[in-house]
Amino acid sequence: MVQTAIPVDSIAKPPARAGELAGCAWITKLDKPFASSETGPLAGLSFAVKDNIDVAGIETTAGCLAFAYQPAEHATVVRKLLAAGARLAGKTNLDQFACGLNGTRSPYGAVPNAFNPLYISGGSSSGSAYVVATGQVDFSLGTDTAGSGRVPAGLNNIVGLKPSKGLISARGVVPAAQSVDCVSIFARTVGIATRVLQAAMGHDAADPYSRRRALATTPFARSFRFGVPSRLEFFGDALSEAAFGDAVARLRELGGTPVAVDYQPLADAATLLYESALVAERYTAIRAFFDRHEGEIIEPVRGIIAKGRAYSAADLYEAQTRLQALGQQAAVMWDTIDVLLVPTAPTHYTIAQMQADPVALNRNLGAYTNFVNLLDYAAISVPSAIRPDGLPFGITLVGPCGSDWQLAELGQRYHHATGLMQGATCKPLPAAQPLAALCPHPNPPPRGEGGKRVRLAVVGAHLSGMPLNGQLTERGATLVGATQTASNYRFFALPGTVPPKPGLLRVAPGTGARIALEIWDMPLEHYGSFVALIPAPLGIGTLELADGSSAQGFLCEAQATADARDISHLGGWRAYIASLQQQQQ
């Protein structure tokens, strides 16, 4: 992709009064959202990125002015989202060097809770959560090492999807602890979060910790077992304790059976993150800068990172062996449960409380998050309740590595059962949509290896996130990218089809339009069973694409379009569906 210079606002200054705290969410906000593609599975969605993630032409500060640099290239994940049609709105505030779970450790000021500005937003991805919760963007990117992609979600009534490690490339991300870092996704609905994950994931050989992951695509059974920690600590917060009890009851109503699990191995693993030689990885991440500019780093971040200097290589091996042993002990729970349920955060703190006792209270916030990446689990935080004091409470579903889609499917069912609004907006949740099963193999073998494959163009109900997309993914099809047809097609909304489907009709040159589509790559052995599902008047033919190439794709019989609505001017099926939703509002 051609790199494009992006105009930016001047860097925001920390606010002087509590009432101005909302301004602390952004570090850089673009005058006009930027995208590299006008079509694709994320077309029409806007997003922001945490300011430890590179955007070409915009300074990356990681919350430290002395560290700031201007990258020449986008981080891999940013490049992929722009290519998928999402529009970038800017960069957001964070706990300095992503070191913290509270959102107050920044020279740009503390980011407030979206529901009460006296309370913390959670961190370190504080700004990314705030701009989603308040409806300023549709989704955002955070990072998650110890819970930074989940705690802010739970405290702001939004979804925080923490994928399996290595599923999304971290190239172009300033590391916190590189071996356990994950790029995370914030959204107001699970449906949006999974669409973003579908577009963002994929192996990246330039990222040392990127992995090819085979993802489970069979949902948890309607009768499932969920683990509940044998001991629960809410640090005196009776409202959160009651909200968690309600969450257990709701999961029962959804078909779950609670099973008590021994939480001690998980708690002990969490302690290792900061109280052992594992903290040396945080020092290693910025070692050269830290040794020259230690005085430029704010407390308590400076003190936490400095601890990493004191450990030897022998200490590190000892800590890693201890972690492996705890992982073996913890793994026993998966023999009796399908998913683990924990509070996302056990309590809320005011900004003043956090600043008065920044280390102990921050540790409390990570009571149910710190172990997840260390033990190589996937997790999703979803809203659960608004407490009587008006503050949100969220729960987190945790599963083994590769359970990302399963967690999202259950998370969406749970979220919609709450009846909550979207974030801090007054908008109700949209109707739950069938989630497109994440590709079980996000990086298909090159053509000519691992069996023959067919390139298939889809224009309607089979697009990512649409009702029939599962017919592709269950056959091992993988998304290649988004493009358009050549300009000699007309596009129609076919009446009486369930689910609603379009018809694409080839017409004479000069009388048509370009229509948005996606290209999918399907194993040839499954292509026949897919074609057998296609009902008349639709069929498969050869489509001419905008770049002059061709692909197999959906075409419609001409007589079926006689009484159909011509929607060619909208340029694609997503735009048509969006227009219908606007009419209903």
- Both 384 and 463 in a single domain? no
Residue pair 349/357 in contact (Cβ under 8 Å)? The answer is no
User: Which domain range does residue 248 map to?
Assistant: 18-418
CA distances from 470 to 318, 473, 476, 535 (A): 45, 5, 10, 16
Residue 434 domain-assigned?
no
pLDDT of residue 174: 98
For residue 499, what is the domain's CATH number?
Answer: 3.10.490.10
- Both 489 and 371 in a single domain? no
How far is 527 from 524, CA to CA, in rounded Å?
A: 5
Per the model's pLDDT, the better-predicted residue between 476 and 366 turns out to be: 366
Helix 404-418 with 190-200: angle, nearest 10 deg? 160
Residue pair 63/95 in contact (Cβ under 8 Å)? The answer is yes
- Model pLDDT for residues 290-345, shown as the tens digit of each residue: 999 999 999 999 999 999 999 999 999 999 999 999 999 999 999 999 999 999 99
Cα angle for residues 79, 479, 173 (degrees, 5° grid): 25
Low-confidence winner among 141-150, 436-445, 454-463, 474-483 (lowest mean pLDDT): 436-445
How far is 128 from 53, CA to CA, in rounded Å?
A: 12
**In the predicted model, is pLDDT for residue 90 greater than 50?**
yes
Q: Which amino acid is at 540?
A: I
The 3-state secondary structure of 77-128 reads HHHHHHHCCCEEEEEECCCHHHCCCCCCCCCCCCCECCCCCCEECCCCCHHH
- Both 398 and 474 in a single domain? no
Cα angle for residues 493, 497, 501 (degrees, 5° grid): 45
The 3-state secondary structure of 456-489 reads EEECCCCCCCCCCCHHHHCCCCEEEEEEEECCCE
- Both 138 and 185 in a single domain? yes
pLDDT of residue 18: 31
pLDDT of residue 39: 76
- Both 396 and 273 in a single domain? yes
**In the predicted model, is pLDDT for residue 7 greater than 60?**
no
pLDDT (mean) for 477-489: 86
Residues with a catalytic annotation lie at: 50, 124, 148
- Both 120 and 175 in a single domain? yes
**In the predicted model, is pLDDT for residue 221 greater than 90?**
no
Residue pair 381/153 in contact (Cβ under 8 Å)? The answer is yes
Closest alpha carbon to 28 in 131, 104, 112, 100: 131
- Both 404 and 513 in a single domain? no
Structural domain count, the chain: 2
Q: Which residues, in sequence order, are bridge partners of residue 415?
A: none
pLDDT of residue 10: 29
Residue pair 151/366 in contact (Cβ under 8 Å)? The answer is yes
Residue 464 domain-assigned?
yes
- Both 274 and 130 in a single domain? yes
pLDDT (mean) for 193-209: 94
- Model pLDDT for residues 265-283, shown as the tens digit of each residue: 999 999 999 999 999 999 9
Signed CA dihedral, 302, 307, 312, 318: sign only: negative
- Both 409 and 480 in a single domain? no
Q: Indicate the pTM of the whole model.
A: 0.76
pLDDT (mean) for 77-83: 95
Q: Which of 393, 418, 443 is the last residue of a domain?
A: 418
What value does the mean pLDDT of the chain take?
Answer: 90
The percent of residues in the chain predicted with pLDDT above 90, rounded, is 77
